[in-house]
């Protein structure tokens, strides 16, 4: 069984027992969060599609840890002008484990 769910503005394909990284969520490590915006579910070949979301279906997950992604280097340069800019960015992420789709 899997579901397509909206988590922090992005759509993810989730299954029970899987772990994934999403944008930083509010909550402490070990807390349980529920996601109600479920767009699609597939149960052994029975596909249910929402219009736009499914009613009465939710996904529960546990927050495992808060981390930062690898550094992304942003480098801008204009040749022959002496212009160079170098910036870095590390995106804050949350690792969650999908507990159940109900």
What pLDDT score does 100 carry? 97
Short-list 29, 32, 27, 47, CA closest to 98: 32
**pLDDT tens readout for residues 65-78:** 999 999 999 999 99
pLDDT of residue 55: 95
Per-domain residue ranges for the chain?
2-101
Stretches where the chain sits below pLDDT 70 are none
Predicted pLDDT at 78:
98
CA proximity to 35, closest of 3, 61, 63: 61
User: Are 38 and 52 contacting, i.e. CB atoms less than 8 angstroms apart?
Assistant: no
- pLDDT at residue 35, as a whole number: 97
d(C-alpha 5, C-alpha 58), whole Å? 9
Quote the pLDDT of residue 9: 95
> Which pLDDT score, from 0 to 100, does residue 54 have?
97
Average pLDDT of the chain to the nearest whole number? 97
């Amino acid at each position: 069984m899997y579901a397509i769910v909206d988590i922090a503005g992005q759509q993810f394909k989730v299954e029970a027992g899987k772990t994934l990284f999403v944008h930083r969520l509010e909550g402490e490590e070990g807390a349980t969060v529920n996601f109600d915006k479920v767009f699609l579910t597939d149960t052994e070949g029975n596909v249910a599609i929402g219009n736009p979301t499914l009613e009465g279906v939710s996904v529960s997950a546990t927050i495992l840890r808060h981390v930062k992604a690898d550094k992304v280097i942003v480098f801008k340069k204009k040749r022959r002008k002496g212009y160079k800019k170098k910036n870095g960015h590390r995106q804050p992420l949350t690792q969650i484990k999908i507990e159940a789709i109900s």
